[in-house]
Amino acid sequence: MRTFIAVDLGGTNIRAAIVDEEGKILDVKKDVTEAHLGKEHVMEKMENLIASLKDYENALGIGLGIPGPTDTVNGKIIISNNLPDLVGYPIADRIREHFKKPTFMANDVKVAGLAEALLGEGRGKKNLYYLTISTGVAGAMILDGKVLSGFHGHGGEIGNMTIDPNREALGGLNRGAAESWVSGPALVREADKACEKEFKHAGEVFEAAKSDARAKAVVERFKDDLAVLLAGVCFVCDPERILIQGGVMKSSSDFLSDVEKRLHGLLFPGMREVTLASATIEEPGLVGAAMLAKSQL
């Protein structure tokens, strides 16, 4: 079976793996990133990790998943808080030349979406949207098995889409930005305020909503807001299915079917076949980086 090398470059850790074309991880290695020691240090770590993988020589190509906006054409990081020294550095070129293998790079949410689209709940479907609802909110359009990143690599940055221009601007985002209202921290913040107590995570808010009307109001607004966000996505690209991943999805049984109903209510009748599904792939970052290479070869 054909195999690919996957790299998940994070601010804290770098992981590299050998993944087969069905998404099975055959070997995986991890090291700390130590980005403060500079780009040469990080690049050498990445090269050493890849070279330590079993049978890496036989892999057909290399996929790199990178946090933040990514120039997929030139294989460079555009902006990064965690890896500032690597911004603009030709990461993909260097890895390609070092290993003499076709090398591709994309944003980590986008490669995770690709994994779910090709091997998870999107398998067999051609027109998908993938969404992560966690600390942040971001997405990716996956058409015909390829992930679209837009002209500047920012396609899918829907966390900054306005869902209500009358609400505050928080954390450097736009007024009423999606991420400020439908992320895990947003749910906790709003529930803390409404219930005058401290929730640990979004799961506790969904639990409280079963008996506390104030928490329920927060959850109901979250559902409305998420439906508006997803409707916006549907009006632009009209997917067959929306795949959702992220910490908030641990409580998906408490909100997902309601959000789907409200989404359908916002769409034209002909669009209401669109379904929402929880993402199911474990290790979507690594599997997706491998699928990025596969999808381009």
Q: Which residues bind a second copy (CB under 8 A)?
A: 69, 78-79, 126-127, 139, 141, 143, 148-166, 174, 224, 228, 231-240, 266-271, 273-274
Report, in Å, the least distance between residue 261 CB and a second copy: 15
The residue among 139 and 284 lying less far from a second copy, judged by its C-beta, is 139
CB of 231 to a second copy, least distance (A): 7
Q: What is the separation of C-alpha 148 from the centre of its chain, rounded to a whole number of angstroms? A: 13
Contact 18, 26 (CB under 8 A): yes
Residue whose CB is less far from a second copy, 164 or 204: 164
How many Cβ atoms sit within 10 Å of the Cβ of residue 224?
18
Q: Judged by CB, which is closer to a second copy: 140, or 205?
A: 140
Contact call for residues 31 and 16 (beta carbons, < 8 A): no
Q: What is the 3-state secondary structure (H, E, C) of 157-207?
A: CHHHCECCCCCCECCCCCECECHHHHCHHHHHHHHHHHHCCCCCCHHHHHH
Of the pair 113, 159, the CB lying nearest a second copy is at 159
Distance CA 185, CA 146 (A): 31
Taking the complex as a whole, the smallest distance from the CB of residue 117 to a second copy amounts, in Å, to 13
Return all residues near 82 (Cβ < 8 A) that are at least 6 apart: 10, 11, 12, 33, 35, 67
- The CA distance from 6 to 61, in Å, is 9
For 89-128, b where at least 16 C-beta lie within 10 A, e where not — what string? bebbebbbebbebebbbbbbbbbbbbbbbbbbbbeebebb
Pick between residue 36 and residue 268 the one whose CB is nearest to a second copy: 268
**Nearest approach, Cβ of 232 to a second copy (angstroms)?**
5
Q: What is the enclosing helix (H) or strand (E) of 131?
A: strand 127-133
Exposed/middle/buried for residue 32 (C-beta within 10 Å: 0-12, 13-18, 19+)? exposed
CB of 238 to a second copy, least distance (A): 2
Shorter beta-carbon distance to a second copy: residue 109 or 195:
109
CB of 221 to a second copy, least distance (A): 10
For the bound state, the minimum distance from the C-beta of residue 296 to a second copy, rounded and expressed in Å, comes to: 15
> Tell me, what amino acid is at 297?
L
Of 134 and 162, the one with the shorter C-beta distance to a second copy is: 162
Minimum CB–partner distance for residue 87 and a second copy (Å): 11
Q: At 52, give phi and psi (nearest 5°).
A: -90, -5
Nearer to a second copy, 23 or 239 (CB): 239
